[in-house]
Amino acid sequence: MRYSNRRWLDRGWLTLPLLIFLTACNAVLTPQPTPTPTALVAGEARPDATFTPAPDIVLTPIPPTPTLTPSPTPTPVIHIVESGDTLFGVALEYGITLNALLSANGLDASQYLRIGQALIIPMPLSNGPTDAELAAPGGSFLLPTPTPLPLSTAGIALYTTPVGGIWCMGEVVNTTDTPITNLQVRAVLIAADGAALASGVALAAADYLPPGARAPFAVLFRDPPGGVVDARVTILRGETVGAITAGFMPLDVTDTVGGFSGPQYRVSGRLSNPQSVAVRRIATVVTLYDAEERVIGYRQSLLPPEVVLEGGQSREFQILLTPQGFDEPHAFAVLAWAVRP
């Protein structure tokens, strides 16, 4: 979408009234600051795994997170892409689904953003797309899967949003001996008597999941019912890497360091290409865990497609995250992959 300022030039006495009319038509939606989300205890604990301990630090209070308040009509707002933004990250920031963001901008999930690009942020008044709409997310790699692979989930937790919604976060664990792609989950909110109250569908934040690795996910319930005490997550989709996705390559992650940088948590390290061929479309996902090994936040970073990592080369990375709730991150994990040209 392009934006330009058009000056209407005319002759005679019509010029001034027309300029006044056009000026009065402009309006801007301004994000309003709201309090930090509060954690709700739920879900199963993460199985034994190797974690990178966070250093001993003093927890810095997290200021209120800017959150858009929907107007009385579903009027879109505009987000200008900055360095480090991703489609998933922008959707998570504004509390909308990835599908809604893709549909509003005519984009595909495999596309990359440009710094300075204007994205339309649709702010619906309802609870968002239905399960049927979410079950068919935009993307160039999704294929029908009759039976999901025997994967597992871990680290599940619930967090309230500043406007009364609920995030269900967790991760998919690849318990097979082969790489997995196209991971999709369904989260169901549960009442105290075990009754299902609401459900939602989301993709896990990993296009390529090696054996034994974990991919975080988040399902947003914009207008959840009352009485939610827990969540149940099931795997809807999980495919072995085939001809279409064979270009994905895992990257080695070393020298990782994590700690607070002001109100945010910073994770840095080094990515190395162990292959003999060059790779591009480098993706990195950082997941944060609390002391109970529940997912309290994650972020995916995508480098521009023109960035190439030759065989044997390495490069540094740095990602900033804002944890959910008030618990200090106890550990973090880093997953990275790229695509062979």
220 pLDDT band, cuts 50/70/90, is very high
156: Cα within 13 Å, side-chain hemisphere: 22
What pLDDT does 337 receive?
94
Please state the separation of Cα 309 from the chain's center in Å: 24
Our measurement of the distance from residue 151's CA atom to the centroid of its chain's CA atoms, rounded to an integer in Å, reads 21
8 Å CB contact between 328 and 59: yes
pLDDT of residue 253: 97
pLDDT for 245 equals 65
Average pLDDT over residues 168-188: 92
Task: Note the Cα 57 to chain centre separation in Å.
Answer: 26
Q: In this predicted model, what pLDDT tens digit does every residue of 317-332 receive, in sequence order?
A: 999 998 987 778 999 9
Nearest-angstrom CA–CA distance, 338 and 89: 18
Q: Write down the residue that tokens 């695509």 correspond to.
A: 339
The band of 37, judged by pLDDT with boundaries at 50, 70 and 90, is very low
pLDDT at 126: 40
Quick check: 308 pLDDT over 90? yes
pLDDT at position 20:
42
Which candidate, 275, 269, 280, places its Cα nearest to that of 333? 269
DSSP strand pairing (52-53 vs 331-339)? antiparallel
Task: Kindly indicate the confidence band of residue 5, based on its pLDDT and cuts at 50, 70 and 90.
Answer: very low
pLDDT at 205 over 70: yes
**Weakest mean pLDDT among 100-109, 246-255, 267-276, 331-340:** 100-109
Instruction: Please determine, for residue 48, whether its predicted confidence score (pLDDT) is greater than 50.
Output: no
| pLDDT attached to residue 92 | 67
Mean pLDDT estimate for the chain: 75
User: What's the mean pLDDT in 169-179?
Assistant: 94
For the whole model, what pTM was predicted? 0.61
pLDDT digits (tens, 9 = 90+) for 72-100: 444 457 888 876 677 777 776 676 777 78
Is pLDDT above 60 for 60? no
pLDDT of residue 46: 41
pLDDT class of 262 with cuts at 50, 70, 90 = confident
Average pLDDT, integer, range 188-200 = 93
pLDDT at 208 over 60: yes
Average pLDDT over residues 200-211: 91
- State yes or no: pLDDT of 192 exceeds 70: yes
**Burial bucket for residue 16 (CB in 10 Å: 0-12, 13-18, 19+):** exposed
For residue 133, pLDDT beyond 70: no
Torsion of CA 45, 167, 321, 111, to 10 degrees: 110
pLDDT value at position 124?
52
Q: Supply the pLDDT for residue 87.
A: 78
Higher pLDDT, 290 or 139: 290
pLDDT at 66 over 70: no
111: pLDDT strictly greater than 90: no
pLDDT greater than 90 at residue 278? yes
Sorted by where each starts, the structural domains of the chain and their CATH numbers stand as 248-339 (2.60.40.10)
Chain Cα centroid distance, residue 291? 22
